[in-house]
Amino acid sequence: MNMNDSETTPEFVVVGHATRDVLPNGSWRLGGGVAYACVTASRLGLRVGVLTSAPLDVFSALREALPNAVVVNVPASEATTFENIYDVTGRRQFLRARAEQLALDHLPPAWAEARIVLLAPLAQEVDPAFAQEFPRALVAAAPQGWLRRWDTSGAVSPGPLAVAPQLLPYVRALVLSRDDLLLPDADSEQKAQADAIIAGWAREVALVAVTRGAAGADLYTNGGPAESFSGVAAREVDPTGAGDIFAAAFLCWLDRTDDPRAAMDFANHVAACSIERVGVESAPTVAELIARFPDANFARALAGD
């Protein structure tokens, strides 16, 4: 296991695989919720810790993207690798390889005192028992990776949240897209079923944030009906990772204000900025947010830091 100052307690901990995302030309770039979320939290001024598993090249790319973070890496011979193939039926996603499982004994003891925790699996790699390991933290989950299933060819499809009994009672927030539960060609009935599933989770988890791309996001609070928050105008270049950036921004502002609605508004603004750039470093800095949205309440708060 590679460690870098792992006896220090980070403020924001993310658990999940950093990935190789295969591009159409055969090359790859760094991906995964841990990468996008941690860059976001770091740029918002938090001390960041990452628990992941990857071979040396992906680990090195993650360290380069997060020069000020503490990264604990479980060495692996393969990186978790995703390839998206587009045809007339839409996008098909394939899992080409997978790194090592992340277990509780990989977590440095000092990290149990973290203030914010995001469990961000990509391919069933995170033990849901992590949700119980942070007694004083704002614990959240991006459940996409627990919803993924794949066949012998690697073709990915959505499945049930089998870890729900081990997860939902112990997290304060879920952050996801409805698309995480759907095939690309889902019909209206299937979309309605997905909404019903999410509403059911909202009766067990205090906060459920559901991203809707350019349309913004919905928030379920304490089992009540969804409240919609409008998106922010942006010139889309690459939406990859926007959901993970949204999740990190939402948690950072929720931790700061204890105001879920303010956190939704803040996260929508941060995610809108991110889609105007490419890659894991697309999250905006504090200075960029203040310059872009000088009249926003959060901008005035940031400027006063």
pLDDT tens digits for 62-83?
999 999 999 999 999 999 999 9
Looking at residues 240-249, what average pLDDT do you find? 96
Contact between 139 and 106 (Cβ < 8 Å) = no
Looking at residues 26-42, what average pLDDT do you find? 96
What is the pLDDT at residue 89? 64
Per-residue pLDDT band for 2 (boundaries 50, 70, 90) equals very low
Domains of the chain: 12-303 (3.40.1190.20)
Cα–Cα distance measured from residue 35 to residue 48, given in angstroms and rounded to the nearest whole number: 11
Looking at residues 195-209, what average pLDDT do you find? 97
Q: How far is CA 176 from CA 56, 137, 180, in A?
A: 29, 20, 7
Contact between 120 and 49 (Cβ < 8 Å) = no
Contact between 33 and 16 (Cβ < 8 Å) = yes
What is the pLDDT at residue 134? 96
What is the pLDDT at residue 224? 96
User: Quick check: 92 pLDDT over 90?
Assistant: no
Sign of the Cα pseudo-torsion (162, 163, 169, 174, in order): negative
What is the pLDDT at residue 185? 85
Per-residue pLDDT band for 6 (boundaries 50, 70, 90) equals low
User: Quick check: 41 pLDDT over 60?
Assistant: yes
One-letter-per-residue 3-state SS of the chain: CECCCCCCCCCEEEECCCEEEECCCCCEEEECHHHHHHHHHHHCCCCEEEEEEECHHHHHHHHHHCCCCEEEEEECCCCEEEEEEEECCEEEEEEEECCCCECHHHCCHHHHHCCEEEECCCCCCECHHHHHCCCCCEEEECCHHHHEEECCCCEEEECCCCCHHHHHHHCCEEEEEHHHHCCCCCCHHHHHHHHHHHHHHHCCCCEEEEECHHHEEEEEECCCCCEEEECCCCCCCCCCCHHHHHHHHHHHHHHHHCCHHHHHHHHHHHHHHHCCCCCHHHCCCHHHHHHHCCCCHHHHHHHCC
As a whole-number percent, the residues of the chain with pLDDT over 90 amount to 90
Cα–Cα distance measured from residue 263 to residue 249, given in angstroms and rounded to the nearest whole number: 7
Nearest C-alpha neighbor of 92 from the set 82, 100, 81: 82
Q: What pLDDT digit, counting tens, does each position of 128-138 carry?
A: 999 999 999 99
Contact between 167 and 147 (Cβ < 8 Å) = no
User: Quick check: 5 pLDDT over 90?
Assistant: no
Q: What pLDDT digit, counting tens, does each position of 95-111 carry?
A: 999 999 999 999 999 99
User: Quick check: 180 pLDDT over 50?
Assistant: yes
What is the pLDDT at residue 1? 43
Looking at residues 231-256, what average pLDDT do you find? 95
User: Quick check: 91 pLDDT over 80?
Assistant: no
User: Quick check: 48 pLDDT over 60?
Assistant: yes
Per-residue pLDDT band for 3 (boundaries 50, 70, 90) equals very low
